[in-house]
A and B are shown apart, each in its own frame.
Chain A
């Protein structure tokens, strides 16, 4: 199956700093990537859809100026949490969708990044 990686897997930062999380599709090109947020013992909540070469589409309630998404290539999307605060502490998961599959295509998930803001 397709492999999606995330880096870093775990990050601790001070309040007010910015943190960048990378999502890479290792063996396929992904025109579309997705960023999810997951609080402990809760479900995944879609934050935004990242399209290569264009602006990301954010879900309602997600601050696009706080969660900057860049999808500069077909294998890399980045999520930058700007001016992070303790309430941004969460588990962030990306997924990628391979192009060219008409039906039944699925998303391949990265292993997630745990962000802790002190």
Chain B
């Protein structure tokens, strides 16, 4: 089975600053999807950004961008101009193109300091 590793259990960032959350994964597949999900205190899982492995270009969604390094199996999330509302648990997830199952990392708790 694929494994997803988030080595930073907790991170903090000053409001308006930039923070990068790390994620690595292990797979033998050549095509797959990678996701970052946000889980605020409400516990509702919210999709932040998605990357398709066959695309070399890094995905970007407003203040959120990823650094996808396929050879290194790394998928980090950069949050620019951090806002108080960005405070949440962030989960990195992997999904095979052919499969249904999501493999989640252990999560990174992000604190935004006013």
Report yes or no: A112 in contact with B43, Cβ–Cβ below 8 A.
yes
**Which residues, 31 to 80 on B, are CB-close (under 8 Å) to A?**
33, 35, 37, 42-47, 50, 52
A42: Cβ under 8 A from any B Cβ: yes
CB-defined contacts of B105 to chain A, threshold 8 Å: 43
Known A111-B42, A112-B44; contact A34-B52, beta-carbon cutoff 8 A = no
Cβ of B33 and Cβ of A104 under 8 Å apart?
yes
What CA separation (Å) do A42 and B42 show in the bound complex?
15
Q: What's the Cα separation between A103 and B53 when bound, in Å?
A: 11
Q: Is the CB of B45 within 8 A of A93?
A: yes
In Å, the complex CA distance between A42 and B106 comes to 6
Kindly state the separation between the CA atoms of A91 and B52 in the bound complex, as whole angstroms: 30
Q: What residues of B have a CB within 8 angstroms of the CB of A38 in the complex?
A: 43
Asked whether, in the complex, the Cβ of B106 is within 8 Å of the Cβ of A43, the reply is yes
Q: How large is the interface on B (under 10, 10 to 19, 20 to 34, 35 or more residues)?
A: 20 to 34
Q: How large is the interface on A (under 10, 10 to 19, 20 to 34, 35 or more residues)?
A: 20 to 34
Residue of chain A at shortest CB distance from B45:
A109
Taking CB atoms, residues of chain A closer than 8 Å to B37 are 109
A32 proximal to B (CB < 8 A): yes
Give every chain B residue within 8 A of A42 (Cβ-Cβ): 106-107
Most buried by B among A93, A95, A103, A104: A104
B97 at the interface (CB under 8 A from A): yes
Q: How many angstroms from the CA of A78 to the CA of B44 in the assembled complex?
A: 19
Contacts of B43 in A (CB 8 A): 38, 91, 93, 111-112
Supposing A42-B106, A43-B107, A91-B43 touch, asked if A106 and B35 sit within 8 A by C-beta, the answer is yes
Task: For the complex, give the distance between the alpha carbons of A41 and B45 in Å.
Answer: 14
Contacts of B30 in A (CB 8 A): none
* A107 at interface, CB cutoff 8 A: yes
Which chain A residues border B47 with CB–CB below 8 Å? Answer: 106
Q: Given A42-B106, A111-B42, A112-B43, are A34 and B50 also a contact pair (CB < 8 Å)?
A: no
**B97–A49 CB distance below 8 A:** no
Extra contacts, 7 of them, besides A42-B106, A111-B42 (Cβ < 8 A), are A38-B43, A41-B109, A43-B91, A95-B45, A103-B52, A106-B35, A106-B50
